[in-house]
Structures are given as structure tokens and as C-alpha cells.
Structure 1
Amino acid sequence: MWKKLLKLRPLARQLSRKVINSGSGTSFWFDCWSQAGRLIELTGERWPMDLGIPINSSVESAIQLYRAKRHRAPVLQLIDKEVMRLRNKGLNNQEDLSLWRRENGDFKEDFSTAQTWNTIRTQAPKVPWFKGVWFSGATPRLSFMVWIAIHDRLATDDRISRWNPQAIVHCWLCQGHFENRDHLFFECGYSKEVWCELVKNLAGSRRIYEWLSVTREVVRGLRGKMETFLYRYCFQLAVSAIWRERNVRRVGESMLRQQLVSQPAWIGW
């Protein structure tokens, strides 16, 4: 994980910027304080020696050590202008400021995870089912499970059999059907009873248990705000509980009856 984070350093450099005050807390070569960007990317490893500014210098020490020269290389001329601009402006005793890029391209002092995520991610139109997955008050782990299920990316036996022909493909709950997502939620006799028992006071006389019908109902919602929230939350709890029970049976552990699985205390109400 740490190695993966280190690989994101080039991306992080594009999102940060330094404002010079004292210059003591900013690297002259590696931090983005200049309008030209990170100076080491312009010069490479050789030019710092020609300028007489050590590679580990802060902006403060670089301003103090630098002696103006007539450079021929355009890159060195640019750096000379940046150094002289700061020297003429003067440094102060305040700490340097770290700025972070926002979604609109501006840089602000406070770091926002949401703004940073929106800056680096690929934007896409909202899918029609998002209200049934990412709603206010939802439990993240349950929403994530439903999100995987909606994309049909759970490791059901029909998917496992594509790369492992010897895999058992029957339903681990009812033992009588080819296991796939739509059967597991909630056409299987076991899972159907769990689902219908869980939402019977919300759904009334309706007994909707096919996957597409249930997801449409979850997205559309019920008659009231509270009823809609409870229905969506029950849907996510049911998916999580049934998937857990299915995995428990798959590895040979003890099984639970439908009535126990549908109890709020067991499924994490």
C-alpha cells in the first residue's frame, strides 16, 4: 500500500503549491513555489551545480547564496529572474503557506478530500440506480456491497465457473438452482423468505422479489421519506446478510434458518 501511495507523488505535485514568506520551509528545487513549476524538472540534476545552489537548499538559503550572473541558457535565465524577483520582494518571518488545488482550479490553504477527489477522478453521468445505493444515512460497507452486486461483480458460482470449470455451481442456500446474482437475490426460496419477512410491514401486500423489480422499487422509493429510507436500508441489509450466509455455507460452517437471518439483531440492524 505504501508503495502504491508513493507512485502517486507525481499526481500530488500537480495539486499542491507553496507561497513563500520566510522561505525556510520550502525546497528551492523540489517544491512548486515558482510560476515556472518545480525547478528540478526544468534543469535536471546538472544545472544546480552551475547555479551554485546546492540540491538540498531551501528557498531562504538559495536567495542568500545566489550570485547573479549572465547566463546563456534560457532555463538559467528564467531561474535567475525568479530568484531576483523574490530577493527584490523580500522575505519575512512568517511560515510558508501550503496551498491545495480545488475543483475549479483555484488553490486554497485548507485541504479538502472531496475537492481533491473530484479533481483527480474521471467524471461520469449519474447512473439511474444511485439513489438506492448512495443515500443519506446508509452504512458505507453495506452500500459498497450493493454497489458490487448491481455491477454483478460478486464472486457467485456462475462467474467462478468461467475460469474454473470444476467449480460447484449450484445455489448454496437452496441446493436446487444454478447460482447467479438474480437467483441469489431473491428468487432463491431461502433468500426470498428472508427478504419478504424483512420488508413485510413496509411493502404491505406486495411480494416483489425479482432483482430488477426490487432495485427499481428501491430507487423509486415508497410513500414517505422514512418508509423509503427503511426500505432501502433493509435492501442493503438483506443483500449483505444473504451473501454472508451463502459464504458461511460455502466453507462448511453451521447454517442458519431463514427466520434467524431475517432478524435485525443478526444482520446488524
Structure 2
Amino acid sequence: MDVNSGSNTSFLFDSWSPLGSLIELTGERGTMDLGIPLNSTVERAIQLYRPKRHRVSILQLIDKEIGVLKNRGLNQQDDICLWKRENGDFKEGFSTAQTWNITRAQSPSVSWFKGVWFPGATPKFSFLIWIAIHNRLSTGDRILRWNPQAVSTCWLCKTAPETRDHLFFECAYSQEVWLKTIKNLAGNRRSCDWSSVVQVVVNGFHGRIVTFLLRYCFQAVAYALWHERNVRRVSEPSLPARCLVARLDKLVRNRITSLRRKKGGKYEKAMKVWFSRS
């Protein structure tokens, strides 16, 4: 707080001096030691305070700061709230981005973030891919670690052990769904190997629309396959691959339609690219 009148600044709780929040330094005991009520403003504290010979060093520092403020004097202007920036400076105006970066634990950017978090994505699809990237989905091979009696065979093809890489997209069922959904969208870079697909999705293409559509298809197909896998796991009716492909085609077209309504025309040509992928 940049103190002017002191009427809007808490003496103990706000950071109005280089010492920071005084309550964190003195505790509630400080109100008795200083002779200032807990909820006093800076203005009221200046009026009430009488200098004392404190033995505790922190109280001596507070006494000094009060003296500095008294000598400077208060005025009739409003107190100004200042917000910390990443460089350590305090300025007027709150910034969500700056505050987020200060309060969070920052880590180096991962190489695959563009394939997971991108404009126009569906959050629940992105979240599933984020888990899959870390290989934390409860696939058969992982379930075996805590339940040796569990069924670890792929629920989609019934022929191979279920792993993340098998499910996306080595499995015959998932491979058919994946390839028939993207068709020629990826050109000669079509692949069913998890690592290769992730690399293509992350690197993208020169065309912004094609890159978006491929990334969205990757996430939508993975989500649909994971849902279908879970449906079969609880013995509910399953879908043939062609029906799932038809659902995904409609889902992508609906997503394109919703994005085209946004201002700027960023996705105006997306539907044309989608229909021309075969």
C-alpha cells in the first residue's frame, strides 16, 4: 500500500512499509506491545502511537517506520493499492498473468504442450491427452500392478495386452477409427504409432487450419476410444468402428460450426478443409 491519508490501509495486515505485514512479524501480541488495536488503520495508529523503549528488535524497527511516516506526514488523498510484478516492482493495476506467475511453481515448458493445450480445444479432451502423455491412464498393464487378477487384455480388439501405445493406435479397432477419421488430413505423415502421432500433432503443419483439425481429431478420437473402452469394460453395448467414425465426424463438424461463429474469421475455411481431407 502507498499510504496517503492512511484511512484505507490496515496498520497490522497491509504491507505499507518495507517490513511487510506487521501481524506476521509480531503476532497478535504486537497489539499489546505497540498499544494499537488489532483492526486499526494506519491513520488511527499514527494518532494513537506513543514512542517506547522496546527491547525486541522488530518492535524497534516498527517504531522507526512509524517515526518516518509521522515525519513525512499524511494527506487527504486516497491510499493506493500496489501490486507486485514478476521483476519485484510494485505498480498500480492488478494483472492476473503477473500474479499467476508469481504465485505458481514454475517449471520448464515441456516439448508436447502445443499438442495438448491449444485454442479451440475441448477441455475434457485435452485433460485426457495430458494424462495419456504422462502414461497415467488406468490401462490394463497399469491395473496389473495393483491387481494381479485383473483382465489386462485390450477391451477393443480382445487380442493383445492393453497398454497406452496399443490403445492409441496399434489396436485394430482404434487404428481403423483413427485412420478413417483423419483420412488424408496428415498427408504422408499418417501414423498409428503413439510417439510418431504425438510428434506430428505437436509439430503441426504450415497450414494453421490443418494443424488445428489434426490436433482436435487426435484428442477427440482418443477420448472416444477411451470412452468406448470403458463402456465395453462394464458390459454395455459396444459400437462398431464405422459408427464411432460417423459420431466423430459429426462432433468435429459441430465444433467447427461453433468456432466459425466467433469474430475474426479464424476458422472460416475449416469446414472446407475438413470436407476435402478424403
110 and 167 in structure 1: CA distance in 2 versus 1, 3 angstrom threshold? farther
Q: How does 1:61-210 map to 2 (within 5 A)?
A: 61-204=44-187, 207-210=190-193
Please list the CA deviations of residues 14-49 of structure 1 after superposition, one character each: whole Å capped at 9, or x if unmatched.
Answer: xxxx22233233221122222112212322333321
For 1:195, give the aligned amino acid.
Answer: W
1:98 is paired with a residue of what secondary structure?
A: coil
Instruction: Give the structure 1 partner of residue 5 of structure 2.
Output: 22
**Any gaps of 5 or more consecutive residues in structure 2?**
256-278
Task: Pick the aligned partner of 1:60 from 9, 19, 43.
Answer: 43
Q: CA deviation at 1:113?
A: 2.6
RMSD of aligned alpha carbons: 2.3
Shift of 1:175: 1.8
Separation in 1, partners of 2:50, 2:8: 22
The alignment's TM-score, normalised by the length of structure 2, stands at: 0.81
* Paired position in structure 1 for 2:207: 224
Question: 2:115–2:201: 8 Å Cα contact kept in structure 1?
Answer: yes
Structure 1 unmatched ranges of 5 or more: 1-17
Percent of residue pairs identical: 62
In the TM superposition, residue 129 of structure 1 has moved relative to its aligned partner by: 2.1
Tell me what 2:217 maps to.
Answer: 234
Q: Report the count of equivalent residues.
A: 252
Aligned to 1:3: none
CA contact (8 A) 1:157 1:180 kept: yes
| Contact 2:189-2:200 within 8 A present in 1 as well | no
CA gap of 1:41–1:207, structure 2 versus 1, over 3 A, is closer
Q: CA deviation at 1:186?
A: 0.6
Among 250, 253, 256, which residue is 1:265 paired with?
Answer: 250
Distance 1:199 1:83 in 2: 69
Matched residue SS, 1:228: helix
Judge conservation of contact 2:36–2:45 (CA < 8 Å) in 1: yes
Matched to 2:62, the amino acid is I
* Counterparts of 2:73 and 2:225, CA distance in 1: 67
Residue type of the alignment partner of 1:129 = W
Of 37, 40, 47 in structure 1, the residue corresponding to residue 23 of structure 2 is 40
